Amino acid sequence: MTSNNKQRYRFSEAPIWEIQRKYYEEEGLRAWRNDQVPQYITSNPMIAATYAEMILGLLQDRANQGHGSEPVYIVELGAGAGRLAFHVLQELCRLRDFAGMPLPAFRYIMTDLAMTNVLAWKEHPALQSFIAEGLLDLARFDAVNDTELNLVVSGATVREGDLKQPVVLVANYFFDSIPQELIYVGEGQIYEADVFVEYPEQLEKLKPSEVLNQIALHYEYRRAPEYEQENYPYRDVIAVYQEELEDSHILFPVAGLTCLERLDRLSQAGFLLITADKGDHMLDHWRFAEPPELILHGSFSFNANYHAFQHVFEQRGAQVYYPPHQFKNINVGCILHMEQPMNYFHTRLAYRRGVERFGPDDFFSLKEWADRNVEDMELYQLLSFWRLGGYDAEFFIHSAKQISSLLPEANDDEKQDLVRGIELMWSSFYVMAQRYDLALDAGLVLFEMDRFEESKRFLEISIQQETDEVVSTVYYCLAICCFELEMEEEALQYLRKLLELEPEHEEALDLLSRFELIH
């Protein structure tokens, strides 16, 4: 039940944006627990590898142009849980080492509005090696207001004109979550759609996510001639909307555009933007658009207007790429806002290979199919898809039961590929606030393959992480591993722990009695 207390606001100044900010500050990294706020689609190893290839392309292009002495800064906007940064850095380091060619150094800067997230990244175990090596720094960044980056780890400040290389900007699920203007085109004129916000009762007792879930938005229109003035900075794209659209609501990304302009001023050489979002770059998709509704996921988001970004920066000489085909879940774009952008052929080719030909949106569509059909897949198919996704933990967890059922018929090569995949997966695993035990699933699959040494390592990691919830089967498997590895004292210790949990466990009692008979 909502109250009748309504207030009118300009859309970009509505209180929903402050409620959203409060949500992220209160939840911290918990906001992404079990995909409450979606993160997998824009943070998995496959999309990270695509981004790393484009960043490597830029490093190659700058080296070829004789600009190899200064570092390239990679600034991720709204880095969220931190998983994308981890995977991008890991893959970029691998590519750099594999290429073995002279390249500019790079520094990755994770940013977020919520300082709670920045401080949590600073302590995250998976990020420590990158921080120690000087490859990673952190900063709180307000996309609406900030003009510089105050780095938490080094204590340095990046100001206007400090960077000699183009700055790489990474923005996933970013432009859909920061303030936007809402305009309406009717009979060739521009109106601003003001929003009336209807609040729930007992507002002060509700969490931000509960407020957003119960809030109601209503719109009223007023003429906005300021958008039609010749001195309005985005007059050209507004003119397109006046000429081409009718009876259309348009989310207009003034905050996003000005954010890019402020970040552009940090560098003397422009920027490369790599971005993925729910956002349309095709004008037809804004034709006769209805008023926007809150897309709720703990926080909220709206669709991003990628058409405006493309038009504005193409008018300024940038080379802009979006897929020529329609996306289903996320639209992955690339803006090269630099002098002579066509000379960045390694960067452009990387986009063609990693997005246009087959990209993160295509992969996620296939993954949705694979998740539904995993029980019908053969082991070689599971291994192929797992490899395509960069040995991602989520797919392994989802398919572990099917993998186990196929092991009796697996050949030695398939088993060896599975062992290798588990090791690669574990080396690339980014721990988040989610309730699954990857070490346990890996250890049990390895146990079924008689890989006792590897199984023991993962099962022991599992019991160290889950000391209060150890399943008795884990102790039994560990006892068997130890016996097979001729570690009898450890085996007996695990049997005794098992019998403390289940005094009548028949297999454990039989194993213990046989051991005592032998000795």
CA–CA–CA angle 252, 257, 262 (5° rounding): 155
**pLDDT of the residue at 2:** 44
- 147, 157 Cβ separation under 8 angstroms: no
The Cα–Cα gap between 493 and 325 comes to: 60
**Does the structure show a pLDDT above 60 at 299?**
yes
CATH number at residue 399: 1.25.40.10
| 413 lies in some domain | yes
Please give the average per-residue pLDDT across 498-507, as a whole number.
82
Exposure letters 61-94 (e unless 16+ CB within 10 A, then b): bbbeeebbeeebbbbbbbbbbbbbbbbbbbbbbe
- Please check whether residues 305 and 400 belong to one and the same domain: no
| 309 lies in some domain | yes
The Cα–Cα gap between 517 and 158 comes to: 72
- Please check whether residues 53 and 157 belong to one and the same domain: yes
Residue labelled with tokens 């102790």: 475
- Please check whether residues 276 and 228 belong to one and the same domain: no
- 336, 267 Cβ separation under 8 angstroms: no
The Cα–Cα gap between 47 and 216 comes to: 35
- 79, 85 Cβ separation under 8 angstroms: yes
Count other Cβ atoms within 10 Å, centred on residue 254: 15
Q: What integer best gives the mean pLDDT of the chain?
A: 91
- Please check whether residues 401 and 291 belong to one and the same domain: no
- How many structural domains are present in the chain? 3
- Show which of 251, 286, 312 is a domain's final residue: 251
Please give the average per-residue pLDDT across 380-400, as a whole number.
95
| 3 lies in some domain | no
Between residues 148 and 20, the one the model is more confident about = 148
- 459, 438 Cβ separation under 8 angstroms: no
- Looking at residue 136, the DSSP 8-state letter turns out to be E
- Please check whether residues 353 and 419 belong to one and the same domain: no
**pLDDT of the residue at 365:** 95
CATH number at residue 297: 3.40.50.150
- Please check whether residues 142 and 190 belong to one and the same domain: no
| 460 lies in some domain | yes
- Please check whether residues 480 and 340 belong to one and the same domain: no
**What are 121-145's pLDDT values in tens digits?**
999 999 999 999 999 999 999 999 9
- 264, 337 Cβ separation under 8 angstroms: yes
- Please check whether residues 163 and 279 belong to one and the same domain: yes
Tokens of 101: 């060619």
State the pLDDT confidence band at 3, using cuts at 50, 70 and 90.
Answer: very low
- Please check whether residues 111 and 234 belong to one and the same domain: no
- Please check whether residues 66 and 198 belong to one and the same domain: no
- Please check whether residues 40 and 157 belong to one and the same domain: yes
**Does the structure show a pLDDT above 70 at 5?**
no
Give Cα separations from 211 to 82, 110, 199, 200, 398 (angstroms).
Answer: 26, 29, 8, 7, 34
User: Rg of the chain over CA atoms, in angstroms?
Assistant: 27
**What are 330-343's pLDDT values in tens digits?**
999 999 999 999 99
The Cα–Cα gap between 44 and 97 comes to: 22
Count other Cβ atoms within 10 Å, centred on residue 364: 21
**What are 48-88's pLDDT values in tens digits?**
999 999 999 999 999 999 999 999 999 999 998 899 999 99
Sequence-distant (≥ 6) Cβ neighbours of residue 329 within 8 angstroms: 41, 278, 361, 364, 365
By residue range, what is the domain housing residue 202?
8-20+180-251
**What are 82-110's pLDDT values in tens digits?**
999 999 999 999 999 999 999 999 999 99
- Please check whether residues 90 and 226 belong to one and the same domain: no
**What are 254-276's pLDDT values in tens digits?**
999 999 999 999 999 999 999 99
